[in-house]
Amino acid sequence: MTNVTNEYGQVLNCVLTTGEGAGLEELCQGIVLRFQNAGEPEPEIIYVDRDCCGASVLEWFRPWKTKVRLDIFHFMRRFTAGLTTEHHPLYGTFCSKLSCCIYEWDQDDVSHLKEAKRSELKKKYAGHLPTEAQVLANISSSELAKHCRRRTRGVEETRNLIQGLLDSMWGLTDTSGLRLINPESMTRVWQVQQKHLPCIQDPPGAELYTKLGSTQKGDKEVQTFRCGRGSSSVESFHRHQCTFIPGERIAVEYLLAQSDRGDLLGPKQDSELGVVLPEMQAEVLEEESPDVTISEVTDILINSPLKVPQYDDQLEMSPPNTPFLQEGSSSTSSQVM
Ligand SMILES: [Zn+2]
């Protein structure tokens, strides 16, 4: 399944193909034509989940001269091939640190959010002034995404930081002695992925955030932003799409519905719409963080992502779930902005 969305998360087109890559040229040329017909300028950046530095993406979208970037979630996801298991207790820590190696937060935005949160908590607890730790503990990752901007750190800084992160976690194990990193696989992964470090950088001068307005928190106002970077919204759409297709029974259910024998389908048939409603999946309905690459909130003030770890403590407090475990579809996506 290939989806193309715009910077508002609206799906521009969607095709189902038997293999990855095949048939995408027509899809892309159709989008180019629609932009031309609408008198819209070509987009500044296209985010893809693969083929970032090959010629094929620009060939499909010809004559556009748009910058092609690799979606950072997909870049990070590739490192899991160098780990022993995604269920390792250090997995969440690793992902969070990896995100810090790539992004840095705008410190002005962060301090505005902290001030607002402090004021909000003070109001809530009858004038009692919260500590720095309490303020941080009460900032959620979706608040960070809404009120704070991030930028990429640049190729060399990210290269050094990821190298440092790998060095610092290379031999770490859980209590049973299982390593997090598989040295052989990670060596290969890192060697290949270094080539894509330029592909994940924000293009210089590109305005990736749109100011939406401001929100009142306590007696402070904080700005609200929408981020156009990456393909997080299209990934959520992919997960939603998975629930349209209830396993291998799709063909039978579809045919029964089409041939007016939907009555054979049992209780899942919606009589009014005449369609088969998939079972709700709680996972998809949960409110998700708008950007899955957001690191742990406690990391926002740390300039170097490598300074934190007290790994013994992390073993116990490591989050049981991380965004990476949620990607279930083998799909291609791209975003035009
Ligand atoms: Zn690349």
Q: What is the pLDDT of residue 8?
A: 84
For 96-148, the pLDDT digits (tens) are 999 999 999 999 999 999 999 999 999 988 888 999 999 999 999 999 999 99
* Ligand 1 centroid distance, CA of 232 (Å): 18
Strand segments, DSSP code E, in the chain are 2-5, 11-15, 45-48, 67-70, 103-105, 150-152, 209-217, 220-227, 269-270, 275-276, 332-336
* Ligand 1 centroid distance, CA of 262 (Å): 47
Instruction: Check pLDDT > 70 for residue 313.
Output: no
* Ligand 1 centroid distance, CA of 77 (Å): 14
* Ligand 1 centroid distance, CA of 63 (Å): 20
Radius of gyration of the chain (CA): 22
* Ligand 1 centroid distance, CA of 46 (Å): 13
**Structure confidence at residue 3 as a pLDDT band (50, 70, 90):** confident
* Ligand 1 centroid distance, CA of 20 (Å): 17
* Ligand 1 centroid distance, CA of 79 (Å): 15
Q: In the predicted model, what is the mean pLDDT of the chain?
A: 80
* Ligand 1 centroid distance, CA of 192 (Å): 10
**Structure confidence at residue 288 as a pLDDT band (50, 70, 90):** very low
CB 180 within 8 A of CB 83: yes
More confident residue, 282 or 293: 293
| Number of alpha carbons in the 13 Å side-chain half-sphere of residue 288 | 23
What percentage of residues in the chain have a pLDDT greater than 90? 54
Highest mean pLDDT pick, 81-95, 285-299, 308-322: 81-95
pTM of the model: 0.75
* Ligand 1 centroid distance, CA of 318 (Å): 31
CB 134 within 8 A of CB 121: yes
* Ligand 1 centroid distance, CA of 197 (Å): 7
In the numeric block, the tokens 């960070």 are attached to: 144
Which residues are found with C-beta within 5 Å of the ion, ligand 1? 52-53, 196, 199
Instruction: State the Cα–Cα distance between residues 44 and 66, nearest whole angstrom.
Output: 5
* Ligand 1 centroid distance, CA of 230 (Å): 14
Pairing mode of beta strands 2-5, 332-336: parallel
* Ligand 1 centroid distance, CA of 68 (Å): 9
Q: What is the pLDDT of residue 106?
A: 96
